[in-house]
Amino acid sequence: MASWQPGLQLSPPSGFDALADGVGSLAAAAGTVLDATGAALDAAKLFLTGVAAPQAAAASALVAGAQDLVNDLFGTGAFTIAVHPWTPGVGRGEGAWRHLDFPRLVQALAESFDDASDRARPQFSGAADVEMIVVAAGAASPTAFAGLLEALEALLGTREFALAARRVRQALALEREQYAAPVGSRPPDWRSVTVREAFPGLAPVEAALQENLALLEGYAAAGETAVDAAADLIAAKQAQLATLQSRLDDAAALLAGGISGTGVYKLAVAGTGGTALLRNELLSATDAPGPELSFCAGVALVGGAGSLAAIREVMAL
């Protein structure tokens, strides 16, 4: 039986540390050679064209690993759905204010699997191997709710959390300034996304890997052969290595982030049983908060077995 876990901590995916270590070794080895090329131009010409250059070979070897990380983490397809207090038919209340407690949030997510009018919903047979990740935010007051949503938005950049946070801010502003109530969002419907689309806040990780991939490919490729271009090319290659290391450092800093304590909850489900399994696990998951959290929002990702493995690893599930 699945259980809800408080907090959300990101961790590097498999291969990320190895890539960073490989880049560091490449930078150290290549830096030594590049520094010496001014006194050995003939050797530099060979190095710059990638001929008999062990560092160029090392860069080429890292390209495949970097590409695999990009594809595994950001190219995975899945179904996603989001629920928040301003979702019509789900949240309760009148005027600008809506509330949605944790049990009703879970109920709304579970019922979405049976919405026959939603043709985009996941439909897996009872024999299918499936998995699901749910991230939810819940608070007892709108002010605390807005803070949680903004923290999640900063961490993951999820569009639905940003929308709910904006609704809270609008409702608070209405009380102060008596503006017209905002128009409610569309009913909850499933849609097909990639992990890249579901969690755009992780874009710096992909950007780091993609840019580093391009830099590694360029570094491994042939360079200028003209002697008069040697100095500029040396500087360019040194700048490439410095940029590559900087991008990896930025991505590592993002993956070291997270939200600890109560207020943010995550749930991971995997097994055989199709959508029926996912619905039942949602409804029976242990350690779920109660109705005391009256302002809640959640987003779910669903896919076939193994399709969410990379994102489960990043979210330490």
Tell me what pLDDT residue 169 has.
86
264-272/8-9 β-pairing:
unpaired
Do the beta carbons of residue 128 and residue 274 sit within 8 Å?
yes
Strands (E), 67-159: 77-83, 129-139
- Phi/psi-derived region of residue 104, left when phi > 0, alpha when psi is between -120 and 50, beta in every other case: alpha
Helix (H, G, I), strand (E, B) or coil at 129: strand
Tell me what pLDDT residue 55 has.
59
Tell me what pLDDT residue 209 has.
75
C-alpha separations of 190 from 26, 187, 208, 301 in Å: 45, 10, 30, 10
Nearest one of 87, 70, 131 to 297, comparing CA atoms: 87
Task: Record the tokens describing residue 182, joined without a space.
Answer: 């905002």
Tell me what pLDDT residue 106 has.
95
Other beta carbons less than 10 A from residue 32's beta carbon = 10
What ranges do the domains of the chain cover?
10-73+203-255, 77-199+259-314
Tell me what pLDDT residue 311 has.
80
Tell me what pLDDT residue 244 has.
63
Q: Which residues of the chain have pLDDT under 70?
A: 12-21, 23-76, 178-186, 218-235, 237-238, 240-241, 244-262
Q: Which residue has the tokens 């407690």?
A: 101
Tell me what pLDDT residue 300 has.
92
Q: What angle do CA 259, 17, 64 make, to 5 degrees?
A: 125
- Residue 104's identity, in one-letter code, is R
Do the beta carbons of residue 261 and residue 7 sit within 8 Å?
yes
| Cα 128 → chain centroid | 26
- Residue 184's identity, in one-letter code, is G
Tell me what pLDDT residue 16 has.
66
Q: How far apart are CA 311 and CA 290, in angstroms?
A: 27
